[in-house]
């Protein structure tokens, strides 16, 4: 409950980010999310340093000239960007919507695990998901979808938000009385 109520999207992230080994360890935990058929219809692409610069430049090249510097700068906002690729298993008895739900659970579980280790993260979509050039650069296949990315790093000292309070959700629960 503490992790759920204290996790926030952190916009300002700095080094260090988890190592590749620590990321893999946390992902093993997140992969315990519900996954009908154990399909694991996802993969992550980790971008650091020169890889961040290359993908940022790729996105900037598709933009209007006056936006390019800002796009490149924004793409470098965190020391680690973990790009999530949805790789649905076509023609499988588990429908695609259920596979996507599983992928979403993995991403959220990973965010909670990162938070529990003192890392901050923020889910990002936008240009990266729409860019044909970045799809090519990242090796995203035609039958896959770029869902977004997690910017990951250490939150600044000022990014220690208060615990959320539990909201009344009784209007969101319905009971069938037969």
Please give the domain boundaries of the chain with CATH numbers for all domains.
2-172 (3.40.109.10)
Per this entry, what is the length of the chain?
178
pLDDT in tens, 91-118: 899 999 999 999 999 999 999 999 999 9
pLDDT band at 160 (very low <50, low <70, confident <90, very high): low
For residue 125, which of 9, 24, 25, 27 has the smallest C-alpha distance? Answer: 9
For residue 82, which of 18, 5, 31, 9 has the smallest C-alpha distance? Answer: 18
- Helix segments in the chain, DSSP class H: 2-6, 20-30, 49-61, 68-75, 96-116, 127-130, 132-138
For residue 137, which of 52, 40, 43 has the smallest C-alpha distance? Answer: 52
Neighbour-count burial for 80-117, b at 16+ CB within 10 Å, e otherwise: bbbbbbbbbeeeeebeeebbbebbebbbebbbbbbbee
pLDDT in tens, 31-79: 999 999 999 999 999 999 999 999 999 999 999 999 999 999 999 999 9
For residue 36, which of 120, 99, 86 has the smallest C-alpha distance? Answer: 99
């Amino acid at each position: 409950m503490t992790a759920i109520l204290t996790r926030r999207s952190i916009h300002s992230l700095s080094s260090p980010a988890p190592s590749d080994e620590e990321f893999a360890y946390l992902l093993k935990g997140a992969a315990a999310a519900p996954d009908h058929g154990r399909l694991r219809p996802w993969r992550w692409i980790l971008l650091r340093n020169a890889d961040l610069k290359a993908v940022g430049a790729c996105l900037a090249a598709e933009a209007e000239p006056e936006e390019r510097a800002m796009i490149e700068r924004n793409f470098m906002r965190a020391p680690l960007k973990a790009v999530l690729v949805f790789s649905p298993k076509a023609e499988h008895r588990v429908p695609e919507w259920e596979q996507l739900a599983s992928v979403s659970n993995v991403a959220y579980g990973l965010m909670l695990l990162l938070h529990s280790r003192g890392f901050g993260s923020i889910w990002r979509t936008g240009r990266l998901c729409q860019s044909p050039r970045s799809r090519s650069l990242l090796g995203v296949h035609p039958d896959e979808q770029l869902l977004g990315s997690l910017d990951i790093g250490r939150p600044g000292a000022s990014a220690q938000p208060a615990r959320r309070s539990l909201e009344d959700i009784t209007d969101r629960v319905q009971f069938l009385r037969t």
